[in-house]
């Protein structure tokens, strides 16, 4: 099982699928503000359990610990 900080507060529910992968951000050097981000998809996970502060997922394909998470299309 992998975990994510996305929870009920963000609308996550059991059975939802998320794409995972490497996230790259464009950051303003002066302010530190993230101006844009993109993700290279490397796999998919499905949510198996949702708690107040953490959700648990099971890899469907290509999942590795530490990857970024985005809703699957």
pTM of the model: 0.65
CA distances from 46 to 3, 22, 33, 36, 53 (A): 11, 18, 30, 26, 17
Q: In the predicted model, is pLDDT for residue 60 greater than 60?
A: yes
- The 10s digit of each residue's pLDDT in 3-47 is 777 888 888 999 999 888 888 999 999 999 999 998 888 888 899
């Amino acid at each position: 099982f992998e975990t994510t900080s996305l929870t009920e507060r963000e609308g996550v529910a059991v059975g939802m699928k998320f794409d995972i992968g490497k996230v790259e951000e464009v950051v303003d050097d002066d302010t530190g503000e993230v101006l844009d981000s993109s993700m290279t998809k490397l796999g998919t996970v499905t949510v198996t359990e949702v708690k107040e502060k953490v959700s648990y997922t099971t890899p469907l394909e290509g999942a590795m610990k530490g990857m970024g998470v985005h809703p699957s299309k």
